[in-house]
Structure 1
Amino acid sequence: MTIGAVQAAPLTMANVFATIAANGVECTPIALKKVVTAYGKEIKTPSANCHQAIEPGIAQTVAYAMNQGVVTKGGEAETTQLNDNRKTFAKTGTNEDTSMLTGGFVPQVASFVAVGNAESPKSFNNMTINGKFMASWYGMFIATPAWKDFMNTYLDTAKIPQDNNYGNPEAKYLTTPSSSAAAPSRDSDRNANTGGNTNNGGNTNTGGNTDTGGDGDRH
């Protein structure tokens, strides 16, 4: 999962993860739970407008993919594993060299941590932070420990039970469609390359400008 180039507040990102954690049901974050006047009259709070934003099967499959990044040896999110082997769904990230990020969830709680200067982005490269110098700083170095500390503390304090049954992928979303295009024969290749003035791929860009997760953690 790649964190894209469009700016988003940490609360917005936390809500994205919360939607995946809730079988695809999205609710607008509401800071107010209850408002009561000095005279005891209760004032109606805004509605969270909960609705099915994505199919449950898609949410479950995305959750499965995120967990695979945690449990797979050398996975992008291996460092996010929560205490007591609680099933963890998370992703670390680095936006260029100006933001260190980690977000994720368990079925009951979602959160997101961003480390950086949103008003005036500044490169973390070749910086010393807390007495440690790094040529390049990534999400797993600061954002991940902060995310894990919050999640572990909250889950323990609130006594949130473990739910290790979430994240069951639907087979139709795991199937990779096979290519229907037939491979060219050797004769067709040879015939295509016999033209003296033909440029056989000399100007072809074979993925040089393709972003293959460059905004994700590079570790």
Structure 2
Amino acid sequence: MLAIKDLQVSFSGRAVLQVTDLKLAGGKVHGIIGLNGAGKSTFFNVLSEVVNAEKGEIIHDGKPLKYPDIAYLETSNFFYASLTGREYLNIFPKTNPDFKLHVFRDILQLPLDQLIETYSTGMKKKLALLAILQQNKPVYMLDEPFNGLDLESNRALEMIMDLLRKKGKTVLVSAHILEPLLHTCDQIHLLQNGRFIQTFEEAAFPEIREKLFAQLNQDLQNKLGQAF
């Protein structure tokens, strides 16, 4: 169980993230959704200790969550262009005994012996994914993991998240596109103006689109009515 309580983050004196009480069960995939500026990246950065919270606690299985407990796939990753994909993976510890690189290489169709500077955006995303999968962590955070992936790799990623779920991992995933989360998540948590306002169980997933876009739809209708 990942429990977050009374968490607050401010930038320039303005509160951008306030999490009163959020519990994320282990062995489940948790979607984190919200419109641009809702606070998704800030939330992930606080959990990974990239950003410090002014107050609050983040507890995993009775102990404070620390960076070594987390495998974090960021939206954008830094790569040394002169390295091959295989050399890049060697930078990271391989602590997952079940990880079979040659199998994932074939599934994701990744040329590990080519220089990273020859990789497409999607190939770089897949390489960064392999770097976290070869590490055995209790918590996996995937920030916009579907960006840049082809259809085959998107499906592979969905199945990989299902395997992490079955291994009892706590998986957090965000996406700008709602549909992948509907297919992969056990719960989806709606973040709005820095606050989690609702948690949706799978049976309530059809309600998410209306809740997420209610205010946006009204604003767009008003503006488009003036444009045409």
**Under a length normalisation based on structure 2, what TM-score does the superposition of the two structures give?**
0.23
Say which one has the larger Rg.
1
Q: Whose strand fraction is larger, Structure 1's or Structure 2's?
A: 2
Higher RCO structure (Cα 8 Å, ≥6 apart)? 2
Q: Whose helix fraction is larger, Structure 1's or Structure 2's?
A: 2
